[in-house]
Amino acid sequence: MRTDTNPHGVDPVRMYVSIFGGLMALTALTVGVSFIDFAHHLPSGWLNVYNDAAAMAIALSKALLVVTFFMHVRHATRLTKIVIAGSMTFFLFLFAFTLADYFSRGWLGPPGK
């Protein structure tokens, strides 16, 4: 929520400490998860992406914590939020179109083959 009484987004130290704790916990989780081979325990499907997906999900939540709390985006103006959403969209373009190549390798052969 936007704290209008607190326009400069100065948060209590307690909040920074607890977010830092959260980040550390997630780091520990990343290390822990790397010891599990999900493909071993789960049905091996289209691609064995489970480990990657878990690592990315953790990384993403950490990034979200940093952006929202450490970078004070929750107190920011709408324009700042639009800028962040815009940059994330372009980042998504980079990933989506690059993966579109990798995932569709071999779907179609070159003409005539």
Residues that bind another protein (CB under 8 A): 79, 86-87, 90, 93-94, 97-98, 100-102, 104-110
Q: How far is the CB of 14 from another protein (least distance, A)?
A: 33
Q: How far is the CB of 108 from another protein (least distance, A)?
A: 4
**Residue 35 or 90 having the CB closest to another protein:** 90
The 10 Å Cβ neighbour count of residue 35 is 6
The DSSP string of the chain is ---TT-TT----HHHHHHHHHHHHHHHHHHHHHTT--HHHHS---SS--HHHHHHHHHHHHHHHHIIIIIT-GGGS-HHHHHHHHHHHHHHHHHHHHHHHHHHTTTTSPSTT-
**Residue 13 or 108 having the CB closest to another protein:** 108
Whether the CB-CB separation of 70 and 20 falls below 8 Å is answered with: no
**Residue 4 or 101 having the CB closest to another protein:** 101
Q: How far is the CB of 92 from another protein (least distance, A)?
A: 11
Q: How far is the CB of 65 from another protein (least distance, A)?
A: 21
**Residue 42 or 92 having the CB closest to another protein:** 92
